[in-house]
Amino acid sequence: MERLTLVLGGAASGKSAFAEALVLNAGLAPVYIATAEAHDAEMAAKIALHRAGRAGQGWHTVEAPLDLGRALRAATADQVVLVDCATLWLTNHLLADHDLDAEARDLLDALAHAAAPVVVVSNEVGLGIVPDNALSRRFRAAQGALNRDIAAAADRVIAVMAGLPLTLKGRAP
């Protein structure tokens, strides 16, 4: 298992299911670090669907909507970690008006020093139109930078479109 794998894709592209399969096939104890928060009924239903899909597969779930670095640093060498997802984590910090650069640096440091192999799921947000408002443009720029930084640090980067993986960096799974 690679030390760090980034799985990118658009919304509903199949990236989470692909990343979950990577983690389950690693032969280590699977840890799911969830970054989503249920601020409305639709998101609560999506979270419930993701939880139900992992039921009975031995996952240990850690909720880390903001302190992802601490959750990663707690992982041990006999585990493999899935972070789902960096996009929601970044959104949580943006909406809390935190220093995005400092938070990204802490995340990258935690990824670099994690005892366990890590698979990070993130949305590719640069393929759409230019957003019409400053907050959305700030988010798009920050997400693009975060994806580039994680990809640079990663041993393997996989794009998922329509459920199909395309290896961009490293060896194919």
Catalytic machinery residues: 50
Q: Which two tokens stand for residue 112?
A: 């670099």
| 90: enclosing H helix or E strand | helix 86-95
The CB density around residue 71, as the number of other CB atoms within 10 Å, is: 20
CB 85 within 8 A of CB 126: no
Q: Which two tokens stand for residue 114?
A: 């994690």
Q: Which two tokens stand for residue 8?
A: 């990118």
Burial grade of 33 (CB within 10 A; 0-12, 13-18, 19 or more): buried
CB 18 within 8 A of CB 53: no
